[in-house]
Chains A and B, each alone.
Chain A
Amino acid sequence: MAELLTYPDQRLLQISGLVRHFDDPKIDETIQQMKETMEEHDLSALAAIQIGVPLRVILLKKEDQYMLFINPAIYGKEGKYFPSTESDESLPGAKLTVQRYPVIKIMYQDREGKDQFYRAEGEEAVTLQRKIDMVFGGYLFDKLNKKERKRFFKEHGTYGDTCPSLFVKDKILAALRLFLTLHALAILLSPFVDMAKIVLHYNTLLFVLEFVWVIFYAIYAKYETTKYKNCTSCQGANVFGTSAIYIGVATILYLISWMVR
C-alpha cells in the first residue's frame, strides 16, 4: 500500500505526464499500489498522483471491479453545467461547490495502450471529472473563483510556494510611490508656492534619486523573490515591467519640471 497524499503535500500538486511506454513495469506496480490504497481507504476512485506517481492513470471501482483509465481525456459532454458539492480524500475537511457536467465522454487507453471510449453519468461522471482534473494538475480549489479560492487558502493553508502576503519589495515600492506623488504635487504647486520651487531647482538630483530607487527596488525584488518560483508577482518580467513603469513616471516628472522651469 502507498501513502495517500493530502493537501498541501507538494508531491500531490504535480502535473501528471502522458503514459507513453505501455511496457513500463512501473505501470503495473502503480496500479497494484493504487488498488491496495483504495481497499485500505475504501475509495471508489483514485488518480495515480494521489499516491505521488505523476502519470495519467485513474482507477474506478465499479461493482467490485476495477476500471483502468490511462491517459483519459474528456472529449465530449451532454447537458448543462450544474453546481456539485464535493469533497475528496486528498483535501480532507474541504467541501466545495464546483461546476460539473451531468454526462461526460472519455477517450482513454487500456493496459495494452488501445484506444477506448467510455460514457459516464451521474455520480460516476462527477467523480471521473474530479479525478481527470487531478491528472491535469487541477484540484477542486482551482475551479473556485478568486474570492472563494482565497477563502479556501485561508481555511486550509497555502502550500508554501505561493506569494507571501507582504514582501519588503512592495514596501520599497509603496515608499517610492509616495515620494513620486509628493514630487508631482510639489511641481503642481511650484508656480504658486515658493517653497515648492525647490523641486524644480533640484530636478536632476531628484531624478537620479528616483532612478537609483527603482534600480535598488529591481535588484532587491529579484533577490527577495528567488525562492518564490511559482508566484506570478515574482516573475522577472513583472519586476522588470514595474521598474520600467516607475522609471517612466520619474522621467515624465523630470521633463515636466524642465518645462515648468
Chain B
Amino acid sequence: MAKIVVLGAGVSGHTAATFAKHWLGDKHEVVVVSPNSKWNWIPSNIWVGVGEMSPDEVVFELAPVYQKAGIDFKQAKAVSIHPEGKEGSDRPYVTIEYTDPNKAGETEEVDYDFLINATGPKLNFAATPGLGPDEGNTLSVCTYLHAAEANTHFQNAIERMKKGEKLKFLIGTGHGMCTCQGAAFEYIFNIEHELNKAGVRDKAEIKWISNEQFLGDFGVAGLHIKWGGHIVSSKVLAESLFAERGVDWITGAHVKEIQKGKLQYELLDGSEGEETFDFAMLIPPFTGVGLKAYDKEGNDITDKVFAPNGFMKVDADYSGKPFEEWKAEDWPKIYQNPDYKNMFAAGIAFAPPHPISKPAKSPNGTPITPAPPRTGMPSGIIGKTVAQNIVEVIEGKSDLENLKHHASMAEMGAACIASTGKGLLDGSAVALTVYPVVPDYDKYPGTGRDPEYTFGEIGLAGHWIKHILHHMFMWKAQLKPGWTLIPE
C-alpha cells in the first residue's frame, strides 16, 4: 500500500488529492494536510468583497467531502519536511501541527511514499510596513474572510457617500514584487460597477496603483488579443477600459510604506510619490509558507529544497539567466524536486525560474517586476498532472526517473475570465485566452505567444460564463456526480 501525502487543499492540492484517490481507489492511501477546515473558490472572493456574494457561497467544509472520498484529512499546518527520514528510519515524513480546534497545538509525524507540496502562498503583508487588514490601513480580497471584511468597509463607504461625502478608492498591488494583478483588476471594476449601482459614482475617485510596467501587463508581459480583426496588446484594451470607466492609474510603482489614509511609493524612474485614500485594497506579495526541511541527521536543508522566496525547487532552471536568455525550457514540466524524486510541488508552491514580465529595477536598485501569476487553471492542471504521474509510478506503469505526463506553463494555455461588474443583465467580464502562459520566444518570435490561440472579448456573456464557472467548480470540488468530467 502506497501513501501519498498532500500538503494544502487549495485548487492544486485538492485536485491532486481527489484525482489520486479516484484513480487509486482503496488499495492506497491519500492524506491531505491543510490548516483550513474549508475549501474556498478564490476567484469569487472579489464578489464577496463587494457584497454580491456571501462568504458561505464561496466555501464548503472539507471534512465531509474527504470522508466520502476516503481521503484522510488532517486539519493541521505542515511545519517541516524530513525527506531522508530520521535516525533509525529511512522513511520520509512531514511534521504537522494541528489547527483543528479539538487537537490544536498537537504535533504529529506523518510518513509518506510520495509528497505533494501544494501549500500555496503566504500572504506576505509584512513586506511593506503598514500593509494589510491586520495593520488596519488597507484591505485584501485574498481570502474569503478578508473579502468579507473588505465588503463591510465598502458598504460603510457607500453609506458615507450617500450622505454626501467624497471618497477616494485606491486599488492594486502593495509591493513592487506582487503578482495577482488580475484579482485587483477585477476588484477595481466591480467596485466601480457597484458604486454606479448605488448611485454614488460621482462621489468617488477611483485609482489603480500597480507594479506593472504598463497598464495591461497583468504579470504575464501583457496578453495579445484579437480585437476588431487584428491582434492588439491588452495595454490598448486596458487603457480604453480605464478611460471609459473614468478610473485613474499609476503603474511601475513599488508601495514602500502605508499609514492610515496614505501611502508612499517609488516609481520605476526612482522618483517618489504619495497617494491618499479613504478605502484601499492592495494585494500583498507572496512567499512560500515557511516550511523547513531537515536531512537524516537533523541538519537544516531548507536552502537546498526551497528557493530563497520560500517556494519549493522543482525541475526548473534556477541559474538566474538574464531576460534575453529566457527560454520555455526553463519552466518545470513534471514539478519534481531534483534532490528528492518522490517530492513534488504543485500550484503556487513551486518556485518559478524567473518572472514572465520583463524584469525592471528602479535606478535606486528597487526591483519593480510582477511575480509570475499561477491562476486556477494552470494550478489545477499541474495538480492533476502530478497526481497522474505518481499514480502511474504506484501502478508500476512508469518510474520516478521517467515520468510521462508534462504540464509546463510554457506549453499550456490559460483561459481567464475577469469580472468587471456583477449582475444578471448589466454585468460584464473580460474573457481572455492566452497560449502559452509563459512566452516561448523561440517558437513564436516576437511576443512569444501563438496568435492563433488568443482571444479576448468584453461583455455580458463573459459575466454569465464567470458565474457558471463559479457553480461548476464548486460542484466539481465537492465531488458531486460527474465531477471528473469537469475540466480544470
Please report A residues at the B interface, Cβ cutoff 8 Å: 13-18, 20-22, 54-55, 71, 73-76, 81, 99, 105, 107, 115, 117, 133, 136-138, 141-143, 149, 158-159, 161-163, 229-232, 235, 237
Contact = CB atoms under 8 A, between A and B. Distances in A.
A7 to B, nearest CB: 10
Interface of B: 213-215, 221-222, 224, 226-233, 235-236, 240, 243, 250-252, 267-269, 323-324, 358, 360-361, 363, 441, 445-448, 451-452, 455, 457
Contacts, number: 105
Given A16-B446, A149-B228, 13 more contacts: A16-B447, A17-B445, A22-B324, A75-B267, A75-B269, A133-B235, A137-B231, A142-B236, A162-B229, A163-B229, A229-B452, A232-B455, A235-B455
Contacts of B233: 15, 136-138
A203 B361 CA distance: 69
Q: Which 7 pairs show the lowest CB-CB distances between chains A and B? A: A17-B446, A75-B252, A138-B236, A162-B229, A136-B233, A73-B214, A117-B269
Nearest to A55: B446
Given A115-B360, A137-B224, A76 B251 contact: yes
Contacts of A163: 229
Contacts of B455: 232, 235, 237
A16 B445 CA distance: 10
A15 B231 contact: yes
A17 B447 contact: yes
A162 B457 CA distance: 15
Given A75-B267, A105-B269, A117-B269, A142 B252 contact: no
B355 to A, nearest CB: 13
Contacts of B235: 133, 136, 138
Contact of A75 (B214, B222, B231): B214
A54 B446 contact: yes
A232 B433 CA distance: 13
A55 B455 CA distance: 22
A232 B243 contact: no
A15 B267 CA distance: 27
Nearest to B433: A237
Contacts of B324: 20-22
6 contacts: A13-B230, A76-B250, A107-B269, A137-B224, A137-B230, A143-B240
A136 B222 contact: yes
B90 to A, nearest CB: 47
